Structure 1
Amino acid sequence: MSFIKPRFIKPVSIALLAAAIAACSTNTPTAATASKPASSKAVDVVQNNTDWYQVRTETELYLFDDYAVFSQFLQTGKAPYTKALDKKDNFDRSIVLALAAEDQSKSLDAVAASRLWNVSMAPAYPFYGEIREEQVIYVFSRYGDMVDMAKIGEPTFSYVEVGGGPKGERIVYVLAKEEKKPEAAIKAFHAKYK
């Protein structure tokens, strides 16, 4: 440290200490206080952020935050209520919320699927997600990977089970670079469909 003049060390140290104390004493919400809901609508959103589902067609992207509605849609091609967002994804598909009947009157800020799409709500941990497109099921254990795939269309890293789906679909487990076989994601997927 002979290259730093001693007369500068003390003022710089004091300035850094003052900045650290100021940063610790600001009134920004912490994770514990930020997760506390302010209203009953917020409670519904917080309780519904553990899973997120999407179905891609040639012209539409359906978003689900309720597994029962998603499952019904897979069987019948219909949801109890749909709400077009008047937005398009990166692949020119119209974005549509698929909701349970009791959620149709909620504002978009109270619908978890909308907030997850807009990246305005943190997901719960552990997280589970699926994207269905034709005969492929993409399975996610990280919300960020699902958001990234919405932008680029395909996962960067994956583990594939050919014919592993309930109707013989190809299952693509989306991975982080360092992951090997995603045992927890495989177990979560098979628990939903067996």
Structure 2
Amino acid sequence: MYVVLPESGRVHAFGDLKNYQDFLNHGEVTLTRTKIGEGPGGATLVFGITGDDVKGNRPSLGEKALSGQFGGAPEFYGEVLKGNRFYVFGDLKDMKDFLAFGEVPYSFTEIGSGPKGETLVYVMNKDSVKGGKPMNRVERFKSLRVAQKS
């Protein structure tokens, strides 16, 4: 799951990598579903949706995740881009808490190591921090950027 929190105050959420990357590159996506006032703190939620979501008249993966219809997966991976920071998550609950409160309890931070010099914040919780730096998320973040360039 991928979320972008631009200065506009809207919450842009994506359940698929293609829409997320399109938004990062162009600031918009072709298909969206908007829910005014339903985001954290009354923010507007803008979901990037796929043609299959439209054809099937069903919610996107991003909508399911934020509404509680999808509980995450054992290998959950999520990103939130806020300001000049990528927050990288391994737990959907941690991600939803961040969207609601804007803070993370534990993290490993790499200043300036993002694709365009952004800070990378690998978000942890009281259980996961004991395992040290989440190398699986570090590698996944990097591999998604390499795949995007090719």
Bucket of the pairwise TM-score, normalised by the shorter protein: 0.7 to 0.9
Matches within 5 A, 1:9-158: 52-58=1-7, 59-108=9-58, 110-158=59-107
SS of corresponding position for 1:88: coil
Contact 1:79 1:100 in 2 (8 A): no
Matched pairs, number: 142
SS of corresponding position for 2:117: coil
- TM-score after normalising by structure 1: 0.68
Ranges in structure 1 where 5+ consecutive residues have no aligned partner = 1-51
Structure 1 runs of 4+ with >2 Å offset:
86-93, 100-108
State the match for 1:35 in structure 2: none
Identity percentage of aligned residues: 27
Ranges in structure 2 where 5+ consecutive residues have no aligned partner = none
Give the drift of 1:77. 0.6
The one of the two structures with greater contact order (alpha-carbon pairs below 8 A, sep at least 6) is 2
- The C-alpha deviation readout for 1:11-60, integer Å capped at 9, x for no partner, is xxxxxxxxxxxxxxxxxxxxxxxxxxxxxxxxxxxxxxxxx000112321
SS of corresponding position for 1:149: helix
State the match for 1:182 in structure 2: 134
Larger Rg: 1
- TM-score after normalising by structure 2: 0.86
Q: RMSD across aligned C-alpha pairs, in angstroms?
A: 1.6
